[in-house]
Structure 1
Amino acid sequence: MIIKPRTRGFICTTAHPTGCAAQVQEQINYVKEHPSIQGPRNVLVIGASAGYGLASRIVAAFGAGANTVGIYRHSESKAGRTSSAGWYNSAAFEQAAQQAGLKSYSVTGDAFSAETKAKAIELIRKELGQVDLVVYSVASARRTDPVTGETSNSVLKPLGGTYTNKTVNFHSGEVTSISIEPATEQETKETVAVMGGDDWQQWIDALREGGVLADGATTISYSYIGSQITQAIYREGTIGQAKDHLEATAKSLNEQLSSNGGRAFVTVSKALVTQSSSAIPVVPLYISALYKVMKEKGIHEGCIEQTYRLFSERLYAGGEVPVDAEGRIRIDDWELREDVQAEVASLWEAVTTENIEQLTDLAGYRKEFFQLFGFETDGVDYEADVEPQVDVPNVI
């Protein structure tokens, strides 16, 4: 079939297998073009099919030569419908890893479930013995707790009062004002349950109890802080409460693992175009302005550049890992430079529907959004007939 992008709000309901494969290969090539990393040997990535999870798997495998296990949702194509971009990304990664002689396995299912954890532990025990790096990179709007059976839904809302600011329809370029009502106490509680550190803790507990977490193992999870522009809707809102819980979990895990030489960190990354960030009001407009400034200064990074820098200059550089006063690894340092934020703030004040294409990198934002789903990739013939059914090797 000839596959074209079909959008509904901040999601694309189709994905292109050839485009996804090409983008995965681009990330692999980037890593292979840089110095190798003396890093982990066996890696578990929970939430491995896109974004920072996929980038972590690529850097571990092709930068450090590690064997990997990826956890993500099952999504094969059906009649008239494509698979998800994550499925196509994973298929391309698995094929490349096996061609490179690396052990690589996929466990598909709900990362929050006890069943998926048990499947992963059994696979690790059988094929790898133990893992020495666990990357937790799950983004989801809903979670059913396997212990309590309670289902929670996350919301993106401010706390304490109505929030009003600029936002953009990144498809049309229309800049408008948006007002968002504050979250209730229950909505905040559920957002923390979904996006906080509880499931990360459950994964580490299960891996330790299953005997498949190596002594001296490292575990990381990704977070974001951002600028003053996005504080009210992000870090000071419901999602910020969840990130606070995630960071508290990292400190607790670090204490638990340190007795065996292990360590746990939250990594604070920069703002990037992801399916999750596209759903947050205000954020796409902020990212469009940020991209403009960082590209002009020559300091823009995507997921793969950020993750390679994390592994090579922070986690596995030798010696103590540099952290901030809260124990977090910061790779958002270039985004939050004073000169960068001053210029972004100036653009923010001036931007309107009429001048957004000139003042910001909205075109770059749109391109990266569609690239999340395998579209707008250089060298791909999008008029060609392609097979939407793609098998993932070694999938369980």
Structure 2
Amino acid sequence: MKVEPKIREFICTTAHPEGCREYVRRQIAYVRSQERKKGRKQEPKKVLVIGASTGYGLASRITAGFGCGAATIGIMFEKPSNGKRTATPGWYNTAAYEEEAQKAGLYAKSINGDAFSKAVKEETIALIKRDWGKADMVIYSLAAPRRTDTQGKTWVSALKTTGKPFTEKSMDLRNHTIVTKTVEPAAEEEVEGTKKVMGGEDWLDWIKALKVADVLEDNALTVAYSYIGPRLTYPIYYDGTIGQAKRHLEKTARVIREEFPDVRALISVNKALVTQASAAIPIVPLYFAVLYGVMKEAHTHEGCIEQMVRLFREKLLEENPPTDEAGRIRMDDWELEEHIQSRVWEIWEQVTTENVENLADIQGYWEDFYHMFGFGFENVDYEKDVEIEIGIPSINFAE
């Protein structure tokens, strides 16, 4: 079957299996090209990645496996091909990761299901007991629109402000025109729903379940990912419903440390990057495109894999990881440098439909977008028929 990208608003409804394989291979190649820090005692050996199939979660799994030699279990919620439609990109990414891990002699198994559910937690615990005994690192990297909690109630997240409406420039991804978007304030139940879905409640549930089952090593490390962003996006992000959820996530790190003193719980605040989740947020894609251009000009731009390699090498695995006054690791340090943000704001005030192609890195934005779905790689022949029904080596075992 010949697979082409089919774009609907801010998502692509197809994925290319060979392109996704290339996407994973390039990240592995980058990790292998980086010299490992010598004499480190903190390198993990058995890593559970919750949300392991795309974005920062996938990059974390690749960095742990090919950068630290760690065995990994990845939790994902992806759809395989039905023979007529392609699988989701995360399915193909996971298949590619497991294939490359097998070649490298690395343990890699995956579980496909709702990470919020009790059933997937129990399945994961059983796999850890059977194959590892205990895990020494848990990476929490979930991004989901809804969650059904342990009481059976379904919560839905909302991309809204809190307090009052917010109006600002945005970019229509269909034609690159600069438009004005107004984001309305959330109702109280929408704020609560977003905290339930994107906050720290499920992260804490995971750690509790793993501790009760005695499948975490003493002094195990767990890290969850967050984003703050610049003041420009505060109304829609940090001061919006998502920001309320991220504050809850930060509080949860403190709760985990208090309830389980032998678990080191950290938050890593990461850089703005194109992901399937971020593409849906009004105003944000235009900011990303402007930021990309500025950071590339300054030679400080990083993608997911570069961020995760720097996180592991320079911060997360240190005996005393460097944190800010709130106890967070700041991987957005380069993004928020004053000279970077000053230049972003200067461009932001100037950008129009007529000059956006010149002032913002539209090409870079779309390159990252298409790569997420396996498209846009110059060494992949997209005219060829490809097999879309790709298996994941460990899934039959996990199921």
TM-score range, shorter chain: over 0.9
Among 114, 119, 123, the alignment partner of 2:123 is: 119
* C-alpha contact (below 8 Å) 1:170/1:366 kept by paired residues: no
- Normalised to the residue count of structure 2, the TM-score between the two structures is 0.97
Alignment partner, residue 315 of structure 2: 314
Q: How does 1:78-227 map to 2 (within 5 A)?
A: 78-146=82-150, 148-227=151-230
> Structure 2: how far apart are the matches of 1:8 and 1:275?
12
> Structure 2: how far apart are the matches of 1:316 and 1:221?
14
> Structure 1: how far apart are the matches of 2:102 and 2:308?
22
Residue-by-residue CA offset, 1:289-324 (whole Å, 9 max, x unaligned): 00000000000000000000000100123x311000
> Structure 1: how far apart are the matches of 2:181 and 2:284?
12
* C-alpha contact (below 8 Å) 1:156/1:280 kept by paired residues: yes
Residue-by-residue CA offset, 1:202-250 (whole Å, 9 max, x unaligned): 0000001111111010000000000011110000000000000000001
- Normalised to the residue count of structure 1, the TM-score between the two structures is 0.98
Alignment partner, residue 302 of structure 2: 301
User: Counterpart of 2:179 in 1: which secondary structure?
Assistant: strand
Alignment partner, residue 56 of structure 1: 60
Alignment partner, residue 28 of structure 1: 28
> Structure 1: how far apart are the matches of 2:85 and 2:224?
32
* C-alpha contact (below 8 Å) 1:23/1:374 kept by paired residues: yes
Equivalent position amino acid for 1:116 in 2:
V
TM-align CA RMSD: 0.9
* C-alpha contact (below 8 Å) 1:216/1:257 kept by paired residues: no
Tell me by how many angstroms 1:254 deviates: 2.0
Equivalent position amino acid for 1:160 in 2:
G
Alignment partner, residue 278 of structure 1: 279
* C-alpha contact (below 8 Å) 1:230/1:283 kept by paired residues: yes
Tell me by how many angstroms 1:378 deviates: 2.4
User: Counterpart of 1:275 in 2: which secondary structure?
Assistant: coil
Alignment partner, residue 48 of structure 2: 44
* C-alpha contact (below 8 Å) 1:142/1:151 kept by paired residues: yes
> Structure 2: how far apart are the matches of 1:169 and 1:374?
23
> Structure 2: how far apart are the matches of 1:63 and 1:279?
31
> Structure 1: how far apart are the matches of 2:122 and 2:296?
44
Identity score, percent: 51
Residue-by-residue CA offset, 1:107-129 (whole Å, 9 max, x unaligned): 11000000000000000000111
Equivalent position amino acid for 1:240 in 2:
G
> Structure 1: how far apart are the matches of 2:64 and 2:171?
36
User: Counterpart of 1:143 in 2: which secondary structure?
Assistant: strand
Equivalent position amino acid for 1:194 in 2:
V
Count of residues in Structure 1 that have an aligned counterpart in Structure 2: 392
Equivalent position amino acid for 2:81 in 1:
S
- Structure 2 gaps of 5+ residues are none
* C-alpha contact (below 8 Å) 2:177/2:353 kept by paired residues: yes
Tell me by how many angstroms 1:73 deviates: 1.2
> Structure 2: how far apart are the matches of 1:111 and 1:45?
11
